[in-house]
Amino acid sequence: MTLTRQVMAGIAGATMMLTAAGHAQQAPPQFPEMTFFVTSVGGPQGANYGGLEGADRHCQTLAAKAGAGAKIWRAYLSTQAVGGATAVDARDRIGKGPWVNPRGVQIAASVDDLHSPNNKISAETAVAETGRLIPSRLYTVNQHDILTGTQANGTAFAPDKDMTCGNWTKSGEGSAMVGHVDRMGLRDDEASKSWNTSHPSRGCDAASLVATGGAGLLYCFAAN
């Protein structure tokens, strides 16, 4: 082999090694043992996920990218009894627990524990499937509003007022109940510090969700 060919072969080999290293660095972190996470991104249409099925699919897709796709994932969302629909309670969709975040921290031992003051959902345990913390009110970009459409005990609201953006099918006018994943609020009261029922959103479109301190994010639980 001539010197030129040797040099070219060496360059090609180095290029392949760098390319392989680049692909390895780009691989998403894997958390196969997690059973709870907050979505790192919202859907493309604000609170319109195409109903519960679409929201569940969003959770399942993100979980699969993090290596936990073998589990059955459910979005913590309720729906209201409007238009002939049957109300669905978020607490009945998510399995029995216990649930741990991507870092292995248990956030609740059971459904009752999750809906008690003993649950461990906070700014320190609100971890996305990517392993990053969800930006709280202490950050310049605040995303602590998490869509739930749910009362404090995990049940759906009465049908007289929209609290679910049309059962997660609206991306314009309407409203959805959100919780504060960091348990921080502008008001010094317990309601503004609830993880699942802090206040209604300004609207259902992505811009309105951002304006109230969110990004259309969801709580996802492994139901099996």
Superfamily of domain 33-222: Mannose-Binding Protein A, subunit A (3.10.100.10)
* pLDDT for the residue 131: 96
Mean pLDDT value of segment 143-163: 97
Measured distance between the N- and C-terminal CA atoms of the chain, rounded to whole angstroms = 60
Mean pLDDT value of segment 206-221: 94
* pLDDT for the residue 192: 62
* pLDDT for the residue 25: 60
C-beta atoms surrounding 128 within 10 Å: 21
Closest CA to 219 of 162, 180, 192: 180
Encoded tokens for 48: 């319109």
Closest CA to 146 of 190, 188, 184, 89: 184
Domain boundaries, the chain: 1-30, 33-222
> Who has greater pLDDT, 132 or 9?
132
Give the Cα separation of 165 and 40 in Å (integer): 21
